[in-house]
A and B are shown apart, each in its own frame.
Chain A
Amino acid sequence: MNHLDPGAERDAEPAETGRLREALAAAAYDVTPSRVPLAAVERRGRMIRRRRRTTVLGAGCAVLLAPLAFVTLHGPDDGDRVTRPAATVSASPAPSASPTVSAPTPRIVEPGERVTAAPGFVLWLTEEGKHWTTPDVPEEDQFRSVVDGNIDRTRPGVSLQIEGTDGRVLASGVYYGGEGTASVVEVASEDGPVRGKLLELPGRPGWGVWYAVTHSGVEAPVTVRDTEGRVYATLP
Chain B
Amino acid sequence: MPHETSAAMPEHPDFAAYAGAAWARLVRTALLLTGDFHEAEDLVQTTLAKVYARWGRLPPDDVDFYVRRSLVNNNISRTRRRRVTHLLMPFLPERVHQSDQGHAESVESRAAITEALGSLSTRQRTVLVLRYWEDLPETAIAEVLNCSPGTVKTHARRGLEALRSHPAFAAAERPHPLPGARP
Contacts and interface: CB of A to CB of B under 8 A. Distances in A.
Contacts of A150: 37
Nearest to B23: A36
A3 B137 contact: yes
Interface stretch (A22-30, A100-108, A111-119, A197-205): A22-30
A157 B41 CA distance: 17
Contacts of A152: 107
B49 A69 contact: yes
B119 to A, nearest CB: 13
Nearest to A140: B3
B109 A27 contact: yes
Nearest to B181: A22
Interface residues of B, number: 85
Contact of B45 (A17, A25, A44, A159): A44
Size class of A's contact patch?
Answer: 35 or more
A58 interface: no
A66 interface: yes
**Best-surrounded residue of B11, B75, B83 (most CB of chain A within 10 A):** B83
B27 A160 contact: no
Contact of A220 (B5, B80, B82, B135): B82
Nearest to A69: B46
Contact of A3 (B82, B84, B110, B149): B149
A47 B49 CA distance: 9
Interface stretch (A4-12, A78-86, A89-97): A4-12
Interface of B: 1-6, 8, 10-12, 15-16, 19-20, 23-24, 27-29, 31-32, 36-42, 45-46, 48-53, 55, 74-75, 77-85, 87-90, 93, 96-97, 106-107, 109-110, 112-114, 128-129, 132-133, 135-139, 149-150, 160, 163-164, 169, 172-173, 177-182
5 nearest A-B pairs in the assembled complex, by CB-CB distance: A45-B52, A67-B78, A44-B49, A36-B23, A26-B178
